[in-house]
Amino acid sequence: MIDVPVYDSAKRPSPIVEELLQVLRYRDLIVQLVRRDVIQRYKRSILGVAWTMLNPLGMMLVMTIAFSNVFGGARAYAAYLLIGLVAWNFFSQTTVLAMRQLVWGGTLIQRIYVPKTIFAISSIGTGLVNLLLSLIPLAVVMVVTGLPPQPMALFLPVSILLLVAFTLGVGLLLSTVAVYFPDVAEMYEIALLAWMYLTPIIYPEDAIPEAYRWWLFNLNPMYHLVKLFRLPLYYDLWPSPERIAVAAIVALGTLAIGWIVFTRRADEFAYRI
């Protein structure tokens, strides 16, 4: 009878720690939720998984045609653009999905206990599947535009990891707010659009007048994170320690804040959704 689990509402570890332990216990559920999302998305389409690769490729094609004359100076513009889009799409799609998943899970949360961060975490998983798949067309475009991936590309796992941390942090913060105010989801989609245009995704950095550049870029966390994708892939440079440090502080700090805010509120969710 020793390993019988005992629950005592009066003796709980801090919710921040407890949630982490529960997520570990429910790790197989994360896999199942990611599977469900991926299957749901592709099962009934003819092109299946190919869509994930064609979607950013199509966007890149349209934008290249539209903007390559405007930003004519940029070398291998298509590759520059696609690197930015891959990172941006991961961030925007995953944060929106995290919000939706928690609201989907709402009916479930009222009936059974599930660690509530699991919905944001599984959104990250789904996003990662898409991100990794879109690296294939990215590699093709890079070769075609004369920028074949160099050994510096080995830095990419670090870039992805930091982007994941930041995205999860933002996703958790947004989900917390969306539980109380569903209209935040719509507001956020508008904000995302503005945010994307304030980040050098489709335009080169020097398209912004020098006077605004420092403010616009340094105060924008996504600038630092996208830069970690572009430096090794597009500029063939190993990011400097300062750059990595800034990105890591921004990403891990956001994750910590998101995790703390979400888990402290999570007990209330069942009353709300």
Site residues (vs another protein, CB under 8 A): 4-10, 25-26, 28-29, 31-33, 35-36, 39-40, 43-44, 107-114, 177, 180-184, 187, 267, 270-271
CA gyration radius for the chain? 20
Angle at 90 between CA 119 and CA 48, to 5 degrees: 85
- Considering beta carbons, is residue 6 or 194 the nearer one to another protein? 6
- Considering beta carbons, is residue 111 or 210 the nearer one to another protein? 111
Minimum distance from CB of 157 to another protein (Å)? 26
Minimum distance from CB of 2 to another protein (Å)? 11
- Considering beta carbons, is residue 223 or 269 the nearer one to another protein? 269
Q: Is 145:138 a contact under the CB 8 Å cutoff? A: no
Q: Is 224:239 a contact under the CB 8 Å cutoff? A: no
Which helix (H) or strand (E) element contains residue 209? none
- Considering beta carbons, is residue 58 or 182 the nearer one to another protein? 182
Minimum distance from CB of 204 to another protein (Å)? 36
Using alpha carbons, select from 99, 238, 217, 57 the residue that is nearest to residue 159: 238
Minimum distance from CB of 133 to another protein (Å)? 20
Minimum distance from CB of 18 to another protein (Å)? 11
User: Residue 25 to residues 22, 29, 30, 133: CA-CA distances in angstroms?
Assistant: 5, 9, 10, 28
Using alpha carbons, select from 34, 271, 257 the residue that is nearest to residue 130: 34
Minimum distance from CB of 35 to another protein (Å)? 7
- Considering beta carbons, is residue 102 or 109 the nearer one to another protein? 109
SS3 110: coil
- DSSP secondary structure, 16-34, as one string: HHHHHHHHHHTHHHHHHHH
Backbone angle region of 76, left / alpha / beta, with phi > 0 → left and psi within -120 to 50 → alpha: left
Q: CA dihedral defined by 244, 246, 252, 254, rounded to 10 degrees?
A: -140
- Considering beta carbons, is residue 12 or 75 the nearer one to another protein? 12
Minimum distance from CB of 198 to another protein (Å)? 22
- Considering beta carbons, is residue 78 or 120 the nearer one to another protein? 120
